[in-house]
Amino acid sequence: MESIYGDKKEELILAAKELSEHISEIRKEMAAQMGMDPVEHFLIRIKGEESMREKCVRKGLPVNSDSALKIIKDAIGARIVCAFIDDVYTIRDHLKKSGKYEFIEEKDYIRHSKPNGYRSYHMILKTKGQFFAEIQLRTISMDTWAALEHHLKYKKQIGGNTELISAELKRCADELASTDLSMQTIRDMIFEEA
């Protein structure tokens, strides 16, 4: 079976590698300024062939490389998890001011969370090689909540407590957001004294 990415697969891999290297450069620059790496963990991937095919079908698109690379905007996906909220926005700013990318879309689910409590900063950018990449920037607590919510969402039988479960997930998301703000405040106080 031919690749969903057609003859662009190697270029796509190279674009993801270049994006990864650039994010590593940003981390080093920020670590030199702050005395610590602002990123707790970082993942980058090319969307799997089968997953991309399924997404084309789900969106009613032809299952071909044009759909995968020109219409769907997450062939490259990156998740950057930071300890503090400010670091999320600083990394975003570094990516934007670099001039290496065209920014297509941004959604700030940190300042404007989804109704279920989900928080993250999403950006879709286009690399110089003209490939789309979706970047999710979030804190450790946001990432933990999203991972747990994902596990619970895909549990086969939730039962009759759907509303209660949704309310509890939202409550937990709000508590974690409050903790993020408190941790940011503590860090700011420490840096003020240094």
- Check residue 60 and give its pLDDT: 97
Is residue 177 a part of any domain in this protein?
no
50 Cβ contact partners less than 8 Å away, ≥ 6 residues apart = none
CB-based contact 136:120 (threshold 8 Å)? yes
Print the domain residue range for 47: 6-144
152 Cβ contact partners less than 8 Å away, ≥ 6 residues apart = 158, 165, 169
Is residue 93 a part of any domain in this protein?
yes
Is residue 159 a part of any domain in this protein?
no
Condensed to tens digits (0 to 9), the pLDDT of residues 2-30 reads: 899 999 999 999 999 999 999 999 999 99
Is residue 193 a part of any domain in this protein?
no
Q: Which residues of 142-170 are buried (b: 16+ CB within 10 A; e: fewer)?
A: bbebbeebeeeeeeeeeeeeeeebbeebb
CATH number of residue 25's parent domain: 3.30.460.10
Comparing 62 with 161, the larger pLDDT belongs to 62
Is residue 191 a part of any domain in this protein?
no
pLDDT above 90 for 101:
yes
For residues 57-86, average pLDDT: 97
pLDDT above 90 for 88:
yes
pTM of the complete model beyond 0.75:
yes
Condensed to tens digits (0 to 9), the pLDDT of residues 27-45 reads: 999 999 988 899 999 999 9
- Check residue 125 and give its pLDDT: 97
Condensed to tens digits (0 to 9), the pLDDT of residues 115-159 reads: 999 999 999 999 987 999 999 999 999 999 999 888 777 665 656
Looking from the CA of 130 toward its CB, the CA atoms found within 13 Å total 5
- Check residue 158 and give its pLDDT: 59
Total residues found in the chain within this entry: 194
Is residue 176 a part of any domain in this protein?
no
- Count structural domains, the chain: 1
